[in-house]
Structures are given as structure tokens and as C-alpha cells.
């Protein structure tokens, strides 16, 4: 990159320690900044926003689905832009546009009412369209681009220590995500949902400036190798490992790409549907809103523990093991939802979601560069991100229709258990493409 320090006062080569550690902190904050675009950040706004707009639960869920599906068609392209322009500019514009989207969402009622007055039609269709468009922007720039660019940037700066570094990042991210529903719920109770979105928009606008100052695309831009090692051990007789850099087209020809990508997509589907309707799910079994939101804490504790251990071991173990543990956790969570209301079901849900979420943070960050190299990381993870976005798009509506048409959220478990069976069988022959 010709001008890696443009618009910034920070000079990575002048820092007294490896700049990758600053990238680690900045990138982790970037993932946290995407929370308003994540399901965990949207879910607490669901009931007050749909009521203010006069939308039913199904209508609001469908708007979320349409907006998220639209974003899935563009997020893969964002991965290509990451490879071309780097994390700095991609993350900067995603944070900036996410701030704009949240500011518009804060005024969605006024926008809808203005459109209805302009065309002299009173209908749920207009607020539905408004929220579909806003959800597209919120999900694309938040869940999609800002998350992908921030996480990939961290992985670009490390190689041998990638798992250990991701362990540190995952702890902070998991703590932030787990506390977000409680913090956002308190923010809404204090300032209202509209002003809360405006506050988040202001924070993101300020963060976009932070991105330009501290984000850097790769250590090679500054003549540094990953991990900060500047001198090779000349006495070593071990030949250096040559990393194979797969293109997206080459990666798509491997079983590993599809099975791991679909496993991550399943996690996105289940956790999104569960989180989006968490208050309603627990309410249907007699739990209060506070009790529903409280489950995020034990889930996050398990996720942090599993993620930390998984990241540290990821530099030494086969990642296929992680895939099977994730699938087993998915079975446990599905059964927990199916039997929700019985004595041990809530523990099955918490343990299943905790383990799955913890290993998701490992596999989604560490496995892709480990399996397919760093050169085309943006294109590959961008494509995988489209899987996750599509899965998260259809989940709220399917969960909603299971409840409104079939009378119970538990019926979604028939679908999830079937998908898990397919993934278990399909993952048997998964191998690391670097060893093929």
C-alpha cells in the first residue's frame, strides 16, 4: 500500500513494541463497535420499535429477514474490497455508514409517517419497507463489513501466535457482547429507543476517526513480518513452512470450506433466532424479561472459557475436532429449546450455546487463514460471511412462524437437528487443504 499512514499521526515503525498488539486492541474494539448491527444489539429494540411502527412480530421479523438477505448479496463483495484496499478504509466507511443508518433508524417513525402523509396512504407496508431498508444498512455495515474487516486485520498481523492473540481478543469481545443486551436495555429504559440509537450513532461516528488513526492493513506494509519477528534463527535446520494461498475459487473446491462455513452458518442461524425472540421464547414458558436477558451472562462465561482454551490450543490441534464439538453443542442447544420448560432444558440451552459460541469465535477467526492462507483472506471470509448473514436473515422469521403458526418455538428443533445430522455426516472427510 502506497500511503499506509495517510490521515494518521500514528507511525507503527516508531512504536517501541510490535504494532500488532495495538492492532489487536483496535480490531477488538472494532468488533465490539459492530454490536448495534448484530442480532444481540438489535434484539432489545425489537418490541419497542415494532410497537412504535405498528408492525406485528411476523412483519418486523420479515423486515429484518429481507434487509439481512439483501446485505448478504453485497458482503462477499466487501471481502474483495478488503483484499484490495485493506482494513483501514473498509472499516472506516463501514463505521461511518453504520452511524448514519442508526441515526435514520432512530427517526424511522417520523420517516414512515412522513411517507404516509406524502402519498396519503395509511398502511403497515410503508414502515415495513422503511425498516427493511434500514435493516439492510445496519446489518451490512455492522454485522457484515465492520466485523469482517476488524477481525481479519488482527489475523493479518499474526501467524504462529494467531490462536493466542485471538484468545485475548475473544475474551474482550465475548464480555462486550454478553453485557450488551443488559446495557442497551438500561439505555432504552433511560433515554428511549430512538435516543439510544442516536447515542450509538454518535459513538460510531467518533470510532470512525479512531479507525483512521490506529487501523493498519498488514505488517508487510511496514517491512515487518507477522508476529513481529525480525530475525530468523539461522541455526535452525527445520525448513520453513510454505503457506499455500488459496483463491476463493480454489477454496470453494474443498470440502473444508463448505462444511466449516455451513457449521458457522448454523450457529448464526440458531443464535440469531434465539436471541431475536429471546424475550418471547422465555415469556411463552412463564419467564420474565429480566430472567430472559439474564441467560446471556452464563452463556458468555462458558463461551469465554471455551474460546480461551480453544484459541490457545488452536495452534497445536486439528481444527476438525472443533467442528465436531460445535456440532455436538448444537445438538445440545436444539434439545434444550425443544424441551424448554423442563427442569434441565435451560442448562442444556446455556451449555450448548456457550460452547458453540466459544468455538465459533475460534474457528471463524483462526481457521480460515490457517487453512487457506492470508493473501485472499478477505474474499474467502467475505463469502463465508454471506453464509452467516443469510442464515441470520431467515432465522427470526422461521422462529416467529413456528411460534405463531405451530404454537411453539420448540418445533424449530426438528429442522435444526436435521441440519446438524447432515453436517456431522458431511464433516467426516474434512481435511486441512494445506496438507493436500
As a whole number of angstroms, the distance between CA 336 and CA 274 comes to 12
* pLDDT grade for 340, boundaries at 50, 70 and 90: confident
Distance CA 396, CA 408 (A): 14
Q: Which residues pair with 340 in a beta bridge?
A: 342
Q: Tell me: the pLDDT tens digits for 8-44?
A: 888 888 889 999 999 999 999 999 999 999 988 988 8
Q: For residue 12, give the DSSP letter.
A: G
pTM value is: 0.80
Strand ranges for 222-302 from DSSP E: none
pLDDT tens string 409-421: 999 999 999 999 9
Closest listed residue to residue 59, CA positions, set 111, 121, 126, 109:
126
Residue 275 to residues 24, 68, 425: CA-CA distances in angstroms? 27, 15, 28
pLDDT of residue 130: 95
> Are 376 and 246 spatial neighbours (Cβ–Cβ below 8 Å)?
yes
8 A C-beta contact, residue 312 and residue 370: no
How many Å apart are CA 374 and CA 358, to the nearest integer?
23
In order, the DSSP letters of 169-237 are HHHHHHHHHHHHHHHHHHHHHHHHHHHHHHHHHHHHHHHHHHHHHH--S-GGGGT--GGG--S--TT--
340: helix, coil or strand? strand
Angstrom distance (rounded) from CA 226 to CA 219: 6
pLDDT for the residue 1: 55
Residues of the chain with pLDDT > 70, as a percent, come to 96
Contact 217, 86 (CB under 8 A): yes
- Alpha-carbon 377 to chain mean position: 16
Whether residue 247 has pLDDT greater than 50: yes
Residue that the C-alpha cell 435514520 belongs to: 104
Amino acid at each position: 500500500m502506497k500511503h499506509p499512514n495517510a490521515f494518521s499521526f500514528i507511525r507503527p515503525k516508531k512504536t517501541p513494541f510490535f504494532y500488532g498488539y495495538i492492532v489487536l486492541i483496535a480490531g477488538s474494539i472494532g468488533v465490539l463497535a459492530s454490536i448495534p448491527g448484530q442480532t444481540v444489539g438489535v434484539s432489545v429494540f425489537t418490541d419497542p420499535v415494532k410497537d412504535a411502527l405498528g408492525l406485528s412480530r411476523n412483519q418486523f421479523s420479515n423486515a429484518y429477514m429481507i434487509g439481512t438477505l439483501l446485505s448478504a448479496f453485497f458482503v462477499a463483495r466487501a471481502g474483495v474490497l478488503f483484499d484490495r484496499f485493506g482494513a483501514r478504509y473498509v472499516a472506516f466507511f463501514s463505521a461511518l455508514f453504520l452511524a448514519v443508518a442508526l441515526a435514520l433508524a432512530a427517526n424511522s417513525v417520523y420517516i414512515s409517517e412522513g411517507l404516509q402523509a406524502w402519498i396519503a396512504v395509511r398502511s403497515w407496508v410503508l414502515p415495513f419497507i422503511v425498516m427493511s431498508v434500514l435493516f439492510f444498512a445496519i446489518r451490512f455495515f455492522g454485522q457484515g463489513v465492520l466485523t469482517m474487516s476488524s477481525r481479519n486485520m488482527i489475523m493479518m498481523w499474526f501467524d504462529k501466535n494467531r490462536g493466542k492473540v485471538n484468545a485475548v481478543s475473544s475474551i474482550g469481545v465475548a464480555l462486550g457482547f454478553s453485557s450488551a443486551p443488559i446495557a442497551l436495555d438500561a439505555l432504552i429504559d433511560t433515554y428511549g429507543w430512538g435516543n439510544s440509537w442516536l447515542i450509538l450513532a454518535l459513538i460510531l461516528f467518533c470510532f470512525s476517526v479512531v479507525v483512521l488513526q490506529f487501523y493498519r492493513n498488514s505488517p508487510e506494509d511496514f517491512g515487518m513480518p507477522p508476529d513481529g519477528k525480525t530475525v530468523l534463527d539461522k541455526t535452525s535446520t527445520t525448513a520453513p513452512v510454505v503457506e499455500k494461498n488459496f483463491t476463493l475459487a480454489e477454496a470453494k473446491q474443498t470440502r473444508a470450506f463448505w462444511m466449516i462455513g455451513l457449521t458457522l452458518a448454523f450457529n448464526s442461524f440458531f443464535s440469531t433466532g434465539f436471541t431475536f425472540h429471546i424475550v418471547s421464547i422465555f415469556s411463552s414458558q412463564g419467564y420474565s424479561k429480566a430472567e430472559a436477558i439474564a441467560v446471556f451472562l452464563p452463556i458468555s462465561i462458558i463461551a469465554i472459557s471455551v474460546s480461551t482454551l480453544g484459541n490457545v490450543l488452536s495452534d497445536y490441534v486439528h481444527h476438525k475436532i472443533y467442528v465436531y464439538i460445535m456440532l455436538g453443542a448444537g445438538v445440545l442447544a436444539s434439545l434444550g429449546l425443544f424441551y424448554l420448560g423442563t427442569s434441565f432444558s435451560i442448562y442444556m440451552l446455556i451449555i450448548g450455546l456457550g460452547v458453540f459460541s466459544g468455538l465459533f469465535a475460534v474457528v471463524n477467526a483462526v481457521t480460515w487463514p490457517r487453512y487457506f492462507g492470508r493473501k485472499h483472506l478477505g474474499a474467502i471470509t467475505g463469502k463465508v460471511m454471506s453464509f452467516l448473514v443469510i442464515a441470520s436473515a431467515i432465522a427470526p422469521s422461521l422462529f416467529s412462524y413456528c411460534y405463531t403458526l405451530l404454537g411453539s418455538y420448540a418445533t424449530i428443533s426438528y429442522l435444526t437437528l436435521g441440519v446438524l445430522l447432515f453436517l456431522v455426516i458431511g464433516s467426516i472427510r474434512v481435511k486441512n487443504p494445506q496438507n493436500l
